[in-house]
Structure 1
Amino acid sequence: MTSYSVLLPCVPRRLEQALPFAGLVRWTGAVRLWQGQAMVMEPHQIFAGLAGAGFRVPTGLGVTLMPLRQPYEAALQARSVALATGEPAIAGFGPGARAFQENILGAPYEKPLQVARQYVTAVRRLLDGEMVVMDGPHLAFRGQLAPVAAPRVDVGLGVLRPAMARLAGEVADVVITWLTPPGYLRDVILPAVAEGAERAGRSSLPRVVAMVPTGLDKEGREGAGCERLALAGNAAHMQAPHYLDMLGRAGVDVGSGRIEDVARGVVETGAFAGGDLPQVLKALRAYEEVGVDEVVLNTTAVCKLFGAQESLADLSAILRSITAPR
């Protein structure tokens, strides 16, 4: 059965901005609070701060960017969140765009799939308490986390295209997607994950988490059409080469060079779940039908255009309806 979670739809500058969304997870059927990579307040510290304020909820980091932290620190930070909250966590990682890699590291990863394989494998083994010795070619270190009883931390890999999906099928506990249409998940990503798992001889598949941008088109939101919301929440993604490549594979018109055409295609393929409440629920059910294990409701656009209270209202309405008996 598919579960539903909540993405923190803003980049907090003060901890109290995140508190209502943690409360939403505690008091509704949402199973986890997620945050992607943030460059203002670090996500691990936000989750630890929420726990200190009394909001100890399961968390997901999806995805944090590999160039920012060495695998030992990544494992230590993820386990620290689980210890602070007393709840299981998902630590998702991704290599980021080539330009970001170059800015942080001085040069982009020559072979990002190989780096991701080593990175995720190292973090998983560290969290399992093993002594890890990596001697290259991409990572070189020796270390072991101090032993301590802690809630489970699953290791995820951000996935957009088939090659990374196959790798996730081999080495990850969780597959994490963003802005991926349900049809593309069904036809491309999930078969590639299964192929990777079979190649690795795994007895079970990784869980699949889909970050789905969503927002209600309702009275009082002038001009809040689906395409405008899709663009407001994902403009940067719709211009990034790796996202454009994925969307093109998924049937979105990315050849015109107009971001408005990309936004239209995102809506038409179901990658953005918008409209009135019945339309949103229908779009979300499509992810259930293709076999997604956890849908993360991303109301970033609503928060950006109309404020946190409207974002909370949308999330509450969707969660109330999606978790009601059918």
Structure 2
Amino acid sequence: MTTIGCIIAPYGNPPSRFVPFARTAEAAGLDEVWLWEDCFLESGPSAAAAMLGATERLRVGIGVMPLPLRNAALTAMETSTIDGMFPGRFLPGVGHGVQDWMGQVGAKAASPLTLMREQVTALRALLAGERITTSGRYVTLDGVALDWPPAAAPPVLAAAKGPKTMRLVGEVADGVVLDGDAGLSGVRQAIGLLDEGRETAGLPPVAESGPGSEHPFRVVAFLHAATGKDAPERLRRNFARWGVDAADDETLANHASWGGAGALADGLRRFAALGVSSLVAQPTLDEPDLDGFATFLGEEVAPLLR
């Protein structure tokens, strides 16, 4: 079953907005809310824990925590603590981080791929309750084990864009987070690259790795979405901010969904058909009514997709 979620971006939303938004999203019937740990805005784990504590069934994902900022043991401790309080409702995601930001804090990695391989491998092992001793380029652990590992380890998701990272995520992670710039063609290409990585690791392809399989793999896709008369114009302005030229209708349709409930559901359905397991609507940064958008998405769009 494809899950439906919504993003609350840190831009323009102070920490005081996160808990009320989570309550709104849950009341509307959404499955998930996703947040970003962008420098130098809100912390991912602390915001996620507060949102989970304020709701009863909503899942909260972080897309994503920058690996260069984090020690693998600390990320494992935070993840297991949150999962222990709210079992099965926390979706931790990690990624390379924006390299300029990593440079600002003196954490830029010379080899982001090596860092991801070492940290994701260690994080998954620790969350599985293993005791780890390893000495790598970036991760050094000496007999480290969690005292309170999760009863069922949450999936460790990883963000990817380039082909090398995409293959690596397919090889070492439990799922991928695809940002809103990927579009339909990007999602299609990503799944092919993920399958190459999974083949390297001796794992089945993404299409055979749904919930309940022996090696489940989650595909999370952020999808630009808007409703209202000015939706196309707002989407184009939003893409311009991210450096994507969506002036023509074909490009816009490849990257976004807009319109009433039926039109938005049809747009999201195209992504689900490619193998996306978590459809996460990304409102425009100038969305005039974020709570209203989440309510519309949960009460009017999501039922059409279920």
Q: TM-score, normalised by structure 1?
A: 0.80
Going from structure 1 to structure 2, the CA distance change for 1:10 and 1:110 (only over 3 Å counts) comes to: closer
Q: Which runs of 4 or more aligned residues in structure 1 lie more than 6 Å from their structure 2 counterparts after TM superposition?
A: none
Q: Which residue in 1 is equivalent to 2:227? A: 216
* Segment drifting more, 93-102 vs 6-15: 6-15
Cα shift at 1:120? 0.7
Determine what percentage of the aligned residue pairs are the same residue.
23
Cα distance in structure 2, aligned partners of 1:141 and 1:30 = 39
Q: What does 1:78-227 correspond to in 2, within 5 Å?
A: 78-105=79-106, 108-142=108-142, 143-150=144-151, 152-179=153-180, 180-186=182-188, 188-203=189-204, 205=206, 206-218=217-229, 224-227=230-233
**8 A contact 2:234–2:286 mirrored in 1:** no
Cα distance in structure 2, aligned partners of 1:77 and 1:67 = 16
Q: Which residue in 1 is equivalent to 2:259? A: 275
Cα distance in structure 1, aligned partners of 2:32 and 2:121 = 24
Cα distance in structure 2, aligned partners of 1:267 and 1:319 = 26
Going from structure 1 to structure 2, the CA distance change for 1:163 and 1:232 (only over 3 Å counts) comes to: same
Residue-pair matches, total = 290
Going from structure 1 to structure 2, the CA distance change for 1:71 and 1:212 (only over 3 Å counts) comes to: same
The residue type equivalent to 1:73 in the other structure is L
Residue-by-residue CA offset, 1:275-319 (whole Å, 9 max, x unaligned) = 34433222211101211111111114244xx2xxx2222222233
Q: Which residue in 2 is equivalent to 1:321? A: 300
The residue type equivalent to 2:278 in the other structure is E
Residue-by-residue CA offset, 1:228-278 (whole Å, 9 max, x unaligned) = 33433772x42xxxxxxxxxxxxxxxxxxxx6xx24369525212223443
Cα shift at 1:150? 4.3
The residue type equivalent to 1:168 in the other structure is V
**8 A contact 2:25–2:298 mirrored in 1:** no
Going from structure 1 to structure 2, the CA distance change for 1:321 and 1:201 (only over 3 Å counts) comes to: same
1:137 aligns to what SS in structure 2? Answer: coil
Going from structure 1 to structure 2, the CA distance change for 1:322 and 1:54 (only over 3 Å counts) comes to: closer
> How big is the alpha-carbon RMSD for the aligned residues of Structure 1 and Structure 2?
2.5
The residue type equivalent to 2:33 in the other structure is L
**8 A contact 2:60–2:90 mirrored in 1:** yes
**8 A contact 1:169–1:196 mirrored in 2:** yes
2:156 aligns to what SS in structure 1? Answer: strand
**8 A contact 1:90–1:155 mirrored in 2:** yes
Q: Which residue in 1 is equivalent to 2:213? A: none
Name stretches of at least 5 consecutive residues in structure 2 with no aligned partner.
207-216
Q: TM-score, normalised by structure 2?
A: 0.84
Cα distance in structure 1, aligned partners of 2:9 and 2:104 = 26
**8 A contact 2:3–2:32 mirrored in 1:** no
Cα distance in structure 1, aligned partners of 2:240 and 2:151 = 35
